[in-house]
């Protein structure tokens, strides 16, 4: 299972273009690795852990020439994704081996888990720490011990230094825990030592605070980051209103519903049916059950549904935010399918056959979608799992620049990039170029031998009337094109001569 | 003496720049600025920002002689849609209205059934997204194999990657208005349109092709 998951994620890293956000994150990590400097920005780019984790792992990411690459950067989220899968299955076994294995199988091949399990952003790390916190919180509700409280504090602290949305995850956990205490008979519900709980909570919060100070101050090199780490919540509260990323309330549900995009069928209907069945069973049967396994199923179900609800209520939406709730919903689905196996009819084990069919349908549908999303349409705008993704033809632009570089040498070429949003991930891919500059407008254009324009800054008349240069259009993202302008004689390197 | 001093001073001052050490002008290259997740750009009614369509003079009663004519292709089994969509008269870009051919250099060919004098060709590749089609070459011939008597009426293959020679026509961004191309009164029975993917992906698409000519 882990082997299949690793293969899909590794293969995915080769087929899928680098996203603009991956470029931005990689650039910051690269600067930390190369220059040893990182300062937390409260207005943008999330928590510091991803960059430091990359710096610590840098010796394992660099090739023989000491260079980083798109594929090597993606090893960081990939590692967290695989560890989530491995430890998840091992921990979930105590509540039912069948459900644990099916959960692992779903997470191994589900397109959303595969894509964002190998995507150089914070989401894969956040999912791992969230599931660790969720398990720790449940164990604390059951046992109320020091180890579980310290594990919860550590997980929560790591969520916090990974991404600010970790607190939305924690809020969902608290709501789920409250509901669980109301309807079930966990240890805390039967009477607690409030003083001890307060001591545990204080210790957990102390760990969170310590991690906050360490990471947001860049290990004491930028003390202002300690305050910035708190100020950032005001920025993100404002951003949650959408800022161009507003989506309808049912956006996350739409991933499961059948639909076609540019002629290709998508949807995870069988998994949605399994989720609905599993959630129904957990909410109806497990609230009455008195086993730890039943309480765990109910807790995960409540957490997942509340988290999806919270994310759906926030106007700002994009596919990768669904990763953590998706992993929770996958367990709800797996539990629901396994519950089918307990059904009997006139003494016959009818349920085993039903569960087998349901498993085959869920995994079969996910496998088909995964092949489309990860392989055939790995960077396509018709892939619903992607968001404002870099188009496949962006690679052609990189190839053209590489060709020019090989023909004339990097020291000969001066490149200007004119784009209102930086044309990411281009700066990441041009990080080793010395004579490259970035401008938001064409107002101060120095007219260099090589220029790349976001076509929003141009009109076709300008391109058409230029006899002194060769122009090429290249895709960057859906509805965003770049125009490469190459002055003579450099354009000769691009024109193919007939033999 | 005073005059001599002033003259010497002026001469020295004027000559100084000629002997001063020269250095190359160092251009400032601003570093990249970090930005957030790009905001999706939706263009439901993609309007052309481009130059206006060319004015082509043609007989007043000229018609689209490609309407419902037979279409063949280098890709016999399109990934999406049917070849008939190329000449069915529908110019919508939504699902069900376009044909998608495989990646690489591909062509569609319209059989006008008889040789005709062509004045203009209208092309709609795909217009629900801002994109430009690469290595777009349009040829006319009486030879269905396009081995003899071939006239090229449009070629934006600026780097000769398609192998038909370097094209001087400009690439353009697709819109719902399509692209009207001057056929320069070329004569032929067959019209062949090449492309090698687009700026969004490697696939080739056609919503509609109209051929304005007279038999």
| High-pLDDT (> 90) share of chain B, % | 47
d(CA A27, CA A427): 8
* Beta carbons within 10 angstroms of residue A202's beta carbon: 11
d(CA A20, CA A121): 10
Spell out the residues 6+ positions from residue A14 whose beta carbon is closer than 8 angstroms to its own. A71
Interface check B25 vs A, CB under 8 A: no
> Tokens standing for A327?
């992993």
Using CB atoms, pick whichever of A262, A440, A463 lies closest to residue B95.
Answer: A262
Cβ distance B115 to B184 under 8 Å? Answer: no
Interface test with B, best of A232, A412, A479 (most B CBs within 10 A): A479
Q: What is the pLDDT of residue A395?
A: 92
| High-pLDDT (> 70) share of chain B, % | 82
CB pair distance less than 8 Å for A21 and B80: no
CB pair distance less than 8 Å for B200 and A21: no
Decide which of A183 and B7 is more confident: A183
Q: What is the pLDDT of residue A454?
A: 92
CA dihedral A103, A107, A110, A111 (to 10 degrees): 160
DSSP string, A467-479: -SEEEEEEEEETT
Q: What is the pLDDT of residue B8?
A: 47
Residue ranges of A 428-487 with Cβ closer than 8 A to chain B: 435-440, 446, 448, 455, 459-461, 463-464, 470-475, 477-481
Q: Which residue in the block uniquely carries the two structure tokens 């632009």?
A: A397
Query: Each residue of B153-168: pLDDT tens digit?
Result: 999 898 888 999 988 8
CA distances from A51 to A17, A218, A229 (A): 21, 10, 15
Cβ distance A396 to A431 under 8 Å? Answer: no
CB pair distance less than 8 Å for A460 and B166: no
Q: DSSP secondary-structure letter at A19?
A: P
Q: Least CA distance to A418: which residue of chain B?
A: B32
Using CB atoms, pick whichever of B28, B29, B197 lies closest to residue A393.
Answer: B197
Least confident of A377-386, B45-54, B102-111: B45-54
d(CA A480, CA A457): 11
**Neighboring chain A residues of B171 at a CB cutoff of 8 Å:** 471-473
> Tokens standing for A92?
């979930």
Element at A21 (helix H, strand E):
helix A20-35
The shortest C-alpha distance from B15 to chain A (Å) reads: 31
The yes-or-no verdict on residue B62 having pLDDT over 50 is yes
Give the CA radius of gyration of chain A: 25
**Neighboring chain B residues of A437 at a CB cutoff of 8 Å:** 27-31
The yes-or-no verdict on residue B46 having pLDDT over 80 is no
The shortest C-alpha distance from A325 to chain B (Å) reads: 21
pTM, whole model, 2 decimals? 0.88
What 3 state SS string does chain B have?
CHHHHHHHHHHHHHHHHHHCCCCCCCCCCCCCCCCCCCCCCCCCCCCCCCCCCCCCCCCCCCEECCCCCCEEECCCCCCECCHHHHHCCCCCCCCCCCEEECCCCEEEEEEEEEEEEEEEEEEECCCCCCCCECCCEEEEECCCCCCCCCEEEEECCCCCCCCCCCCCCCCCCCCCCCEEEEEEEEEEEEEEEEECCECCCCCEEECEEEEEEEC
d(CA A380, CA A289): 47
The shortest C-alpha distance from B168 to chain A (Å) reads: 10
Nearest Cα residue to A331 out of A49, A119, A103: A103
Cβ distance B183 to B58 under 8 Å? Answer: no
Give me the helices (H) in A117-223, please. 123-143, 146-162, 166-183, 194-216
Biggest CA–CA distance in chain A, Å, is 87
Interface check A87 vs B, CB under 8 A: no
The shortest C-alpha distance from B47 to chain A (Å) reads: 12
Spell out the residues 6+ positions from residue A497 whose beta carbon is closer than 8 angstroms to its own. B160
Interface check A170 vs B, CB under 8 A: no
**Neighboring chain B residues of A424 at a CB cutoff of 8 Å:** 32, 35, 38
Q: For residue B124, list its beta bridge partners.
A: B208
pLDDT tens for each residue of chain A, 499 residues long: 888 999 889 876 788 999 999 999 999 999 999 988 888 887 777 889 999 999 999 999 988 888 899 999 999 999 999 999 999 999 999 999 999 999 999 999 999 999 999 999 999 999 999 999 999 999 998 888 899 999 999 999 999 999 989 999 999 999 999 999 888 765 555 667 788 889 999 999 999 999 999 999 989 888 888 888 888 777 777 777 777 889 999 999 999 999 998 888 999 999 999 999 999 999 988 877 788 899 999 999 999 999 999 999 999 999 999 999 999 999 999 999 998 888 766 666 788 888 899 999 999 999 999 999 998 899 998 999 999 999 998 999 999 999 998 888 878 888 999 999 999 999 999 998 888 999 998 888 887 889 999 988 886 556 666 667 888 889 999 989 999 999 888 888 888 765 4
Interface test with B, best of A452, A455, A478, A484 (most B CBs within 10 A): A478
Q: What is the pLDDT of residue A324?
A: 96
Element at A62 (helix H, strand E):
none
**Neighboring chain A residues of B160 at a CB cutoff of 8 Å:** 495-498
d(CA A249, CA A478): 23
Residue B72: pLDDT band (50, 70, 90) is very high
Q: Least CA distance to B28: which residue of chain A?
A: A437
**Neighboring chain B residues of A421 at a CB cutoff of 8 Å:** 35, 38
CB pair distance less than 8 Å for B42 and A479: yes
Q: Least CA distance to B127: which residue of chain A?
A: A479
Using CB atoms, pick whichever of A45, A435, A475 lies closest to residue B131.
Answer: A475
Backbone angles phi, psi at A246, to 5 degrees: -65, 135
Q: Least CA distance to A21: which residue of chain B?
A: B37
Nearest Cα residue to B191 out of B92, B79, B114: B114
Q: DSSP secondary-structure letter at A190?
A: G
CA distances from B191 to A333, B138, B170 (A): 55, 7, 20
Least confident of A76-85, A299-308, B5-14, B133-142: B5-14
The yes-or-no verdict on residue B50 having pLDDT over 60 is no
Q: Least CA distance to B33: which residue of chain A?
A: A422
Q: What is the pLDDT of residue A268?
A: 95
Instruction: State how beta strands A450-454 and A415-418 pair.
Output: parallel
The shortest C-alpha distance from A20 to chain B (Å) reads: 7
CB pair distance less than 8 Å for B202 and A494: no
Q: First and final CA of chain A: distance in angstroms?
A: 51
Residue B3: pLDDT band (50, 70, 90) is low
DSSP string, A382-417: T-TT-SSPPPTTHHHHHHHHHHHHHHH-TTT--EEE
CB pair distance less than 8 Å for B51 and A437: no
């Amino acid at each position: 299972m882990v082997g299949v998951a690793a293969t899909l994620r590794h293969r995915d890293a080769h087929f899928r273009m680098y996203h603009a956000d991956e470029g931005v994150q990689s650039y910051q990590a690269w600067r930390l690795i190369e220059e040893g400097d990182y300062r937390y920005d409260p207005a943008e780019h999330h928590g510091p852990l991803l960059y430091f984790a990359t710096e610590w792992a840098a010796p394992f990411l660099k090739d023989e020439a000491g260079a980083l690459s798109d594929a090597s950067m993606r090893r960081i989220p990939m590692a967290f994704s695989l560890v989530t899968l491995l430890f998840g299955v091992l921990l979930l076994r105590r509540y039912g081996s069948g459900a644990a294995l099916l959960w692992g199988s779903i997470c191994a091949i589900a397109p959303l888990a595969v894509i964002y399990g190998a995507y150089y952003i914070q989401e894969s790390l956040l999912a791992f720490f969230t599931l660790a916190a969720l398990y720790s919180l449940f164990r604390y509700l059951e046992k109320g011990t020091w180890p579980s409280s310290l594990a919860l504090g550590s997980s929560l602290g790591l969520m916090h230094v990974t991404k600010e949305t970790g607190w939305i995850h924690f809020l969902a956990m608290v709501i789920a825990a409250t509901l669980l205490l109301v309807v079930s008979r966990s240890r805390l519900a039967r009477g607690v030592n409030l003083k001890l709980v307060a001591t545990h909570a204080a210790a957990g919060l102390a760990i969170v605070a310590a991690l906050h100070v360490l990471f947001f101050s860049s290990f004491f090199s930028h003390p202002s980051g300690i305050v910035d780490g708190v100020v950032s919540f005001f920025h993100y509260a404002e951003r949650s209103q959408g800022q161009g990323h507003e989506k309808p309330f049912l956006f996350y549900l739409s991933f499961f519903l059948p639909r076609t995009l540019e002629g290709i069928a998508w949807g995870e209907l069988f998994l949605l049916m399994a989720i609905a069945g599993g959630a129904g069973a957990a909410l109806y049967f497990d609230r009455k059950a008195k086993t730890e396994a039943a309480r765990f199923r109910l807790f995960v179900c409540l957490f997942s549904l509340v988290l999806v609800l919270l994310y759906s209520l926030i106007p700002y939406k994009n596919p990768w935010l669904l990763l953590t709730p998706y992993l929770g919903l996958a367990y709800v689905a797996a539990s629901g399918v396994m519950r089918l196996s307990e059904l009997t009819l006139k003494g016959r084990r009818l349920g085993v056959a039903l569960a087998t069919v349901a498993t085959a349908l869920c995994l079969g549908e996910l496998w088909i979608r995964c092949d489309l999303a990860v392989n055939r349409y790995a960077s396509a705008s018709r892939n619903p799992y992607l968001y404002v993704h870099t188009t496949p033809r962006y690679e052609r632009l990189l190839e053209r620049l590489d060709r020019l570089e090989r023909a004339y040498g990097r020291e000969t070429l001066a490149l200007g990039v004119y784009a209102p949003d930086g044309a990411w991930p281009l700066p990441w891919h041009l990080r080793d170029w010395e004579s490259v500059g970035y401008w938001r407008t064409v107002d101060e254009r120095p007219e260099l031998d090589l220029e790349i324009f976001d076509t929003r800054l141009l009109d076709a008349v300008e391109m058409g009337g230029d006899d002194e240069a060769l122009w090429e259009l290249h895709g960057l993202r859906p509805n965003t094109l770049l125009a490469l302008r190459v002055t003579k004689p450099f354009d000769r390197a691009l024109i193919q001569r007939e033999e | 003496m005073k005059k001599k001093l002033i003259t010497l001073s002026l001469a020295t001052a004027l000559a100084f720049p000629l002997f001063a050490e020269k250095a190359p002008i160092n251009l400032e290259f601003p570093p990249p600025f970090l930005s957030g997740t790009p905001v999706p750009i939706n263009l439901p009614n993609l309007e052309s920002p481009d130059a206006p369509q060319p004015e082509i003079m043609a007989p007043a009663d000229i018609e689209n002689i490609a309407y419902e004519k037979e279409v063949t292709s280098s890709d016999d089994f399109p990934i999406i849609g049917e070849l008939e969509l190329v000449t069915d008269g529908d110019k919508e870009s939504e699902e069900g209205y376009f044909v998608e051919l495989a990646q690489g250099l591909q062509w569609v060919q319209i059989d006008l059934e008889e040789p005709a004098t062509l004045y203009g060709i209208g092309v709609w590749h795909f217009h629900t997204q801002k994109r430009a089609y690469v290595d777009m070459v349009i040829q006319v011939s009486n030879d269905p194999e396009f081995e003899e008597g071939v006239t090229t009426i449009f070629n934006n293959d600026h780097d000769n990657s398609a192998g038909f020679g370097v094209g001087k026509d400009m690439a353009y961004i697709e819109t719902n208005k399509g692209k009207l191309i001057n056929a320069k009164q070329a004569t032929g029975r067959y019209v062949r349109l090449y492309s090698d993917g687009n700026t969004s992906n490697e696939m080739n698409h056609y919503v509609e092709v109209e051929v304005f000519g007279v038999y």
